[in-house]
Amino acid sequence: MMAGVDRGERVDLLEPLLLSQDSRHRLALGDLALELAQAASGFRRSLPDGVMAALADLVRAMNCYYSNLIEGHDTHPVDIERALREDYSADIGKRNLQLEAKAHIAVQQWIDDGGLGDRSNSVDGLLETHRRFCEHLPDDLLWVEHPQSRKRQPVVPGRLREYDVEVGRHVAPSPGAIMRFLERFGAAYSKLGKSETILAAAAAHHRLLWIHPFLDGNGRVARLMSHATLLKTLDSGGVWSIARGLARNERAYKQHLIACDATRHNDLDGRGHLSEEALAEFTRFFLTTCLDQVQFMEELVQPEKLHTRIRLWADEEVAMGSLPKRAGTVLEAILYRGDLPRGEVPELLGASERTARRVVSALVDQGIVTARTTRSPLRIGFPARLAPRWMPGLFPEQRA
């Protein structure tokens, strides 16, 4: 582990950063990118604003769960929600993972709120993303042990690594060369048009991991970068997650990343240092995975099916006495309309204001209905604990 050394690597070792115009894969991949853009836009437009906001909150926890799962950290969305309420496990290991998840959620919230803007591929944007993720991690998660020397090194939030690293068979650029590579990376991906940005999302994802700019946290930063890029380019509303698709196909995902580390095989494999054929295959996998996740979420929240699942659940809760009568009517109205002014609840239920307040309070107490203030319209909430019933398959049920 040589601190700060610069071996003088040329930045063209990162090429190709984009698929060449004469790539035999370009036309088909361009069609796939267009299909993804149309599907993502159509799905977003189909959702009422209130439902979209609630779904984005749930997907944020889901995205965190799957991204951390790829790193071997299993923190269920129910435990993530508990962490957001400052409800931590007594077990220090589980508590640390809850804090890690909370940090991830905070960064994605910042991204979803527009904090990163157009900087997802820029040097300062990447450094800030890493800093925001790491600065709230517990100390136990801010150390990396070198596999050979066993020397422990601290992970400093927002700081580029100062030591050599080897990931599998890939030896990442020397510490002193990282900034040169990141500047080339930013120049290549920051000023592309919409269609080219979608097409290049997979390439940017791999090339950042190839540079491996940070001592730890590179995978999370790469997936957050991809989320930010797709969020802005596709105007996705944050209602689906590439991380879920990558985690569910983790073996293929990692095999593609390894393949993209390979150098060019022959004269038919592009003109850059790295294999363009491998990059094209990863692009196909990445875009197909995105499209699959859009279609999965669209099917999952199909209005009639979603409303039926929620209404059946509400009827069961009413029958067991866990919810007051007519609670399902309020939920159904919110789902169809997106939001519901509180003043309309008595008329909707054909009940007194006191009864209406009791029904609303019961729904709010369970996190099923939300409102920004006591005077704001009511909107649906999607608690993670109810996802197995309301949105089966979104993530695994929590183990006892």
The pLDDT of residue 2 is above 60:
no
pLDDT averaged over every residue in the chain? 94
Q: Give 52 or 207, the one with higher predicted confidence.
A: 207
Consecutive H or E run containing 202: helix 194-211
Beta-carbon contacts of 335 under 8 Å, excluding residues fewer than 6 positions away, are 51, 303, 306, 307, 310, 380
Q: Give the pLDDT band (50/70/90) at residue 266.
A: confident
The pLDDT of residue 228 is above 70:
yes
Question: Which residue type does 388 have?
Answer: P
Q: What's the pLDDT score for residue 107?
A: 97
The DSSP result for 265-327, as a single string, is -STTS-SSSB-HHHHHHHHHHHHHHHHHHHHHHHHHT-HHHHHHHHHHHHHHHHHTTSS-TTH
pTM: 0.93
The pLDDT of residue 400 is above 70:
no
| For residues 276-298, average pLDDT | 97
pLDDT tens for 311-340 read: 999 999 999 999 999 999 999 999 988 899
The pLDDT of residue 375 is above 90:
no
CA dihedral 230, 280, 299, 56 (to 10 degrees): -20
Domains delineated in the chain: 24-300 (1.10.3290.10), 303-390 (1.10.10.10)
Report the percentage of the chain scoring pLDDT > 90. Answer: 86
On whether the CB atoms of residues 264 and 276 are closer than 8 A, the answer is yes
* Lowest mean pLDDT across 308-312, 366-370, 372-376: 372-376
* Lowest mean pLDDT across 142-146, 227-231, 270-274, 384-388: 142-146
Q: Give the pLDDT band (50/70/90) at residue 398.
A: confident
pLDDT tens for 101-155 read: 999 999 999 999 999 999 999 999 999 999 999 999 999 999 998 766 778 899 9
Cα–Cα distance list, 71 to 38, 83, 122, 171, 175 (Å): 31, 19, 24, 20, 23
Residue with tokens 């698709």: 245
DSSP bridge pairs for 145: 152
pLDDT tens for 153-173 read: 999 999 999 989 988 889 999
Q: Outline where DSSP puts E strands in the chain.
A: 143-145, 152-154, 166-167, 170-171, 369-370, 379-380
Cα–Cα distance list, 58 to 248, 252, 394 (Å): 18, 26, 10
Q: How far apart are CA 121 and CA 124, in angstroms?
A: 9
Beta strand 166-167 with 170-171: parallel, antiparallel or unpaired? antiparallel
| For residues 304-310, average pLDDT | 92
| For residues 212-227, average pLDDT | 97
Q: How far apart are CA 242 and CA 224, in angstroms?
A: 10
Q: At what angle do helices 92-112 and 123-134 cross, to 10 degrees?
A: 150
pLDDT tens for 76-95 read: 999 999 999 999 999 999 99
pLDDT tens for 18-70 read: 999 999 999 999 999 999 999 999 999 999 888 898 999 999 999 999 999 99
On whether the CB atoms of residues 116 and 75 are closer than 8 A, the answer is no
Q: How far apart are CA 201 and CA 17, in angstroms?
A: 10
Q: What's the pLDDT score for residue 48?
A: 86
